[in-house]
């Protein structure tokens, strides 16, 4: 195509974007990521024009012209708008051109693929309609690099920021080719490239030391699974296929492994191990609670108290007890909590609950009390030594009901306790965070989000941090329950936050582990994985190594670059 024709194609495309793909808040209902109706601002809705033959003819002509010197290429993208572009560009390209797209999250059934299509050995060019933060493109690069492929270039219709912002791609020598930037529309639309002082794209400031993969991950179950636990030498983690792994922190090699008994397929060990005095304690979906020698993996004792155990144990060192939630297949007894002797596994006391108890208990040593939640939407506080119920707090709104085993008021994860305020904090699947007076079992405050909570809160000073299935991390004032700030994670957040080196670290279903400023929620750094991160990050302050799990039963050992 002649240069004059390409110039005309660019001019036509620019006019169509201005006339049909640019939307102002004053002309349409635009909802912000916080779920609020925006009264000002704008956005580009390029999908409005990308399914038109005349538009895609111009886009394809400009694409192949800018990449003509790269030789044979394969075209990659992420769903959804990128897939529209890729399909049209492949059809308009040279014979034999191929492509693929990367799912935002691994498919949970069928072939459970992350990448659809066939990757070849040709140079990879990633395409998309818009580029703002660049997060989705970072993930694509990380997914491809994990499979041994390198991205040659990125091609974008409209880039929002100056190239200096995208340091990640510059460091990897991946050029960004964009047909337009916001500056190209300044005269007609009033847009300008987004530049805020010297602010740069949050850095990928970690180096991977080793990675361990357990066999047969259950991709279908996208929930918090087995958090890793560490001692001085090893890191311990349960797997979907029923194996508790003891891995050497130094290099990720297997120190030992222990396989539990018969369990539902894909639900072997979701319980997070607790390590105390050279022993690893955990529950399993074979219904048993185990105590293993931390050095050898040899069994010390086993408790046969339930049909399934998805709860994680809590240790009361001063009482010599272990507490864990239980689940049963009985009609009138579906859940409960048990206290076991740390040395022998002998039952000291137990308490039955009407619905499944997947929640993990929290032991409060200064008061010698233990608290746990259940699928009946209730929180139970016990005298830890005797098992006497101190109080029961019901989160059920009048008129609401839970079914035989599951309901929208389920309390799935554990609790956090503020000694300073004498308050217990926990979230429910109904999308509420409760702040409960420990002495009275009464509500001090409640916060409501756009979706449920499957995350254990983290308390630092006057603030409780918690991730939500509405894709946000919330920082909440403990006294009032009011929001201090929220951070948008881009996908559902099952993981629980961790305070490490003065920062909040939390994973999301984007596969990103992000470091946040606890005061403002601003991103400080990140690490992108190829799978969802649904569990808590663990840190060894002595070696300064981070252990990051994924829902695919992987552990990444990383350190700061």
> Residue 248's closest CA among 297, 299, 300?
297
pLDDT confidence of residue 195: 66
**154-185 residue pLDDT tens:** 999 999 998 888 888 988 999 999 999 999 99
pLDDT at 1: 56
H or E element that contains 15: helix 3-16
SS3 per residue for 468-504: CCCCEEEEEECCCCCEEEEEECCCCCCCCCEEECCEE
Q: Among 8-17, 137-146, 282-291, which stretch is predicted with the lowest mean pLDDT?
A: 137-146
pLDDT band, residue 70 (cuts 50/70/90): confident
The answer to whether residues 533 and 559 touch, using CB atoms and an 8 Å cutoff, is no
pLDDT for 323 equals: 98
Report the 3 state secondary structure along 306-366.
CCECCCCCEEECCCCEEEEEEECCCCCCCEEEEEEECCCCCEEEEEEECCCCCCCCEEECC
Q: How confident is the model at residue 318 (pLDDT cuts 50, 70, 90)?
A: very high
User: What local confidence, expressed as pLDDT, does residue 202 receive?
Assistant: 65
Burial letters 304-326, b for 16+ CB under 10 A, else e: ebbebbbbbbbbbeebebbbbbb
Highest mean pLDDT among 42-51, 134-143, 383-392: 383-392
Cis peptide before 560 (omega within 30 of 0): no
Q: Are 126 and 136 in contact (CB under 8 A)?
A: no
Question: Residue 313 and residue 297: Cα distance in Å, rounded?
Answer: 18
The C-alpha angle 421, 390, 327, rounded to 5 degrees, equals 105
* The pLDDT value given to residue 290: 98
Using the structure block, give the residue that is written with the tokens 């539902």: 264
277 burial level (CB within 10 Å; 0-12, 13-18, 19+): exposed
**Which element (helix H / strand E) includes 141?**
helix 135-146
Least confident among 35-39, 66-70, 83-87, 494-498: 35-39
pLDDT at position 492 is: 94
Query: Does residue 9 sit in helix, strand or coil?
Result: helix
Is residue 175 within 8 A of residue 113, CB to CB? The reply is no
Mean pLDDT of 239-266: 96
pLDDT-based confidence at residue 556 (cuts at 50, 70, 90)? very high
- Spans of all domains in the chain: 3-189
Give the pLDDT confidence score for residue 114 in this predicted structure. Answer: 82
For the chain, how long is the longest CA-to-CA vector?
86
Place of tokens 């636990």: 229
Q: What is the pLDDT averaged over residues 484-505?
A: 96
Give the whole-angstrom CA distance, residue 387 versus residue 398.
29
Extract the tokens encoding 46: 């390029």
- Pairwise CA distance, residues 102 & 369, whole Å: 48
Residues 122-148, buried b or exposed e (16+ Cβ, 10 A)? bbbbbbbbbbebbbbbbbbbbbbebee
Strands 503-507 and 498-500, by their bridges, are antiparallel
Confidence label for 315 from pLDDT (cuts 50, 70 and 90): very high
Per residue in 400-439, pLDDT tens?
655 555 567 899 999 999 999 999 999 999 999 999 999 9
Using CA atoms, how far apart are residues 158 and 17, in angstroms rounded to an integer?
10
Q: How confident is the model at residue 200 (pLDDT cuts 50, 70, 90)?
A: low
- Please say whether the beta carbons of 421 and 453 come within 8 A: no
For residue 215, what pLDDT is reported?
Answer: 83
> Quick check: 196 pLDDT over 60?
no
Please check the confidence at residue 399 and state whether its pLDDT lies above 90: no
Residue among 347, 391, 351 at smallest CA distance from 369:
391
What average pLDDT score do residues 338-358 get? 96
Going by pLDDT thresholds of 50, 70 and 90, the confidence category of residue 362 is very high
Above 90 in pLDDT, residue 138?
no
pLDDT of residue 150: 94
pLDDT band at 457 (very low <50, low <70, confident <90, very high): very high
Position 39 confidence tier, pLDDT thresholds 50, 70, 90: confident
Which helix or strand (DSSP H or E) is residue 135 part of?
helix 135-146
pLDDT value, residue 40:
74
Reported confidence tier of residue 445, pLDDT bands at 50, 70, 90: very high
List residues bridging with 101 in a β-sheet.
77, 116
pLDDT recorded at residue 409? 83
Higher pLDDT, 329 or 537: 537
Rg, Å, the chain Cα set: 26
Q: Are 455 and 494 in contact (CB under 8 A)?
A: yes
What would the CATH number be for the domain defined by 3-189? 3.40.50.2020
Q: Hey, what are 155's tokens? A: 């091609």
């Amino acid at each position: 195509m002649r240069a004059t024709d390409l110039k005309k194609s660019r001019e036509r495309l620019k006019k169509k974007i201005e006339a049909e793909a640019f939307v102002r808040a004053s002309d349409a209902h635009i909802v912000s990521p916080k779920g609020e109706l925006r009264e000002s601002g704008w956005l580009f809705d390029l999908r409005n024009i990308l399914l038109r033959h005349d538009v895609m003819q111009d886009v394809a002509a400009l694409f192949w012209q800018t990449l003509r010197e790269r030789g044979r290429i394969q075209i990659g993208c992420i769903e959804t708008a990128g897939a529209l572009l890729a399909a049209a560009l492949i059809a308009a390209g040279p014979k034999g051109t191929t492509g693929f797209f990367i799912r935002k999250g691994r498919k949970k059934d069928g072939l459970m693929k992350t990448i659809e299509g066939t990757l070849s050995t040709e140079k990879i060019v990633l395409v998309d309609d818009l580029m703002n933060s660049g997060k989705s493109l970072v993930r694509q690069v990380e997914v491809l690099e994990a499979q041994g492929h390198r991205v040659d270039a990125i091609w974008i219709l409209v880039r929002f920021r100056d190239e200096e912002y995208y340091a990640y791609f510059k460091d990897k020598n991946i050029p960004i080719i964009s047909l337009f930037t916001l500056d190209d529309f300044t005269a007609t639309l009033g847009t300008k490239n987004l530049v805020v002082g010297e602010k740069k794209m949050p850095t990928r400031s970690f180096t991977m030391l080793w990675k361990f993969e357990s066999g047969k991950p259950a991709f279908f179950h996208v929930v918090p699974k087995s958090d890793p636990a560490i001692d001085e030498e090893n890191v311990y983690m349960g797997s979907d296929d029923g194996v508790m792994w003891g891995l050497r922190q130094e290099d990720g090699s297997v120190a030992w492994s222990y396989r539990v008994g018969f369990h539902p397929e894909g639900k072997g060990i979701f319980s997070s191990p607790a390590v105390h005095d050279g022993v690893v304690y955990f529950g399993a979906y074979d219904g048993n609670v185990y105590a293993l020698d931390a050095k050898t993996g040899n069994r010390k004792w086993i408790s046969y108290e339930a049909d399934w155990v998805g709860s994680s144990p809590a240790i009361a060192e001063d009482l010599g007890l272990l507490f864990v939630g239980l689940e049963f297949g009985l009609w009138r007894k579906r859940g409960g909590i048990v206290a076991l002797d740390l040395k022998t596994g002998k039952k000291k006391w137990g308490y039955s609950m009407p619905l499944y108890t997947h929640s993990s208990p929290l032991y409060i040593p200064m008061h010698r009390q233990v608290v746990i939640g259940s699928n009946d939407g209730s929180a139970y506080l016990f005298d830890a030594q005797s098992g006497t119920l101190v109080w029961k707090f019901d989160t059920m709104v009048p008129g609401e009901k839970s079914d035989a085993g599951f309901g929208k008021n389920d309390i799935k994860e554990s609790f956090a306790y503020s000694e300073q305020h004498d308050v217990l904090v926990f979230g429910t699947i109904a999308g509420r965070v409760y702040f409960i007076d420990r002495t009275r079992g009464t509500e001090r405050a409640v916060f409501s989000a756009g979706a449920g909570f499957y995350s254990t809160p983290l308390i630092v000073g006057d603030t409780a941090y918690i991730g939500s299935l509405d894709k946000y991390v919330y920082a909440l004032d403990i006294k009032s329950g009011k929001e201090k700030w929220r951070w948008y994670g881009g996908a559902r957040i099952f993981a629980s936050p961790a305070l490490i080196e003065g920062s909040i670290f939390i994973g999301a279903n984007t596969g990103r582990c992000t470091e946040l400023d606890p005061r403002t929620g601003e991103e400080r750094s990140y690490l992108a994985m190829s799978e969802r991160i649904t569990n808590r990050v663990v840190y060894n302050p002595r070696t300064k190594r981070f252990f990051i799990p994924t829902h695919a039963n992987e552990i990444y050992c990383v350190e700061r670059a």
